[in-house]
Amino acid sequence: MALLQRQGVDIYYEIHGSGPALLLTHGFSATSQMWQGQIAALAERHTLILWDMRGHGRSGAPEDAALYNESLTIGDMAALLDQAGAQQGIIGGLSLGGYMSLAFHAEWPERVKALLIIDTGPGYKRDDAREAWNRQALETAENIATHGLEALADASAERSQSEHNNVQGLAMAGRHMLTQHSPRVILSLPQIAVPSLVVAGAQDTPFLAATDYMAAKIPGAEKLIIERAGHAVNIDQPEAFNAGVLQFLTSRGL
C-alpha cells in the first residue's frame, strides 16, 4: 500500500500506467475506488494517479481540525504530482474532487495541462448562497458523525459503495473540506486558459445548471452530458464516460 506523508498525515495513493500524468480526485465521502472502471481505459496512455483525500478511505484521519482544509488538500495534490515525477498534469475530479481541481488550478495554473470537471459546482459568489451550502455540508458531517457509514446508504454509488477506516475523520472532512469560505474559485473561471471538459450525468439535476455555468464561463470549455447517468456518472455509464474523456484528451493532443 503506497502512502505519502504530509504534515504527519498518511495519504493513500495508487499510480497506474505510464505517459502524461492524470490526477483524479474523488468526491466527498467517496474514495479512489470510485475510479476502478476508468483504470484500464485511462492508464493505457497516461500515468493515472488516484488517491484518498485526508479523512477518507485508507488515508489518515487526524483528530486536529486544522489538518483539514482546501489549502492542505490542493497541497496534497501537488505533492502527488511530485511523487509521480510530474511537473504538470491533467487535473480532474468528481463533485468535491472537481471543486478541488478548480482550486488547484487557481493556485498553480502552471502545473495544469487540462481540467476534467465532473458533476461539480464552482462555489458561490454570494455569501448567503455559500452559507446555505455550508449549513448543508455541516448537517451531512453531523449525520455521518452520529450514524456512521449508514448515513451514506441512500447516497449515490460512489459514496454508498465506499469503505473508510475512520468515520470521525470523514465527518471532520465534511466540516472543514466540504465547506467553502470565499468566492475565489468561481471568480477564477474566466482566467482558465487550459483545455477543459465539463461533464455531468443527465439525471444529476442539482448540478446541471452549474455545469452549464462553468461551460459558459471557462474559455473554450467543452461540455459533455451523459444520458442515463446521475451524480456518479463514471460508475453509471463507464463506457460512455471513458469514451468521452478519451475523445477529449485525444482531440487536444493530451
d(CA 54, CA 178): 12
Mind listing the pLDDT tens digit of every residue in the chain (254 residues)?
Answer: 799 999 899 999 999 999 999 999 999 999 999 999 999 999 999 999 999 999 999 999 999 999 999 999 999 999 999 999 999 999 999 999 999 999 999 999 999 999 999 999 999 999 999 999 999 999 999 999 898 888 787 777 888 788 888 899 999 999 999 999 999 999 999 999 999 999 999 999 999 999 999 999 999 999 999 999 999 999 999 999 999 999 999 999 99
**What residues does each domain of the chain span?**
2-251
Provide the β-strand partners of residue 200.
225
Residue type at 178 in one-letter notation: L
Assign 3-state DSSP to the chain and report helix, strand, coil percentages, each to 5: 50, 20, 35
d(CA 193, CA 196): 9
Domain 2-251: which CATH number of 3.30.750.24, 3.40.190.10, 3.40.50.1820, 3.90.650.10: 3.40.50.1820
Decide if 26 contacts 158 (C-beta within 8 A). Answer: yes
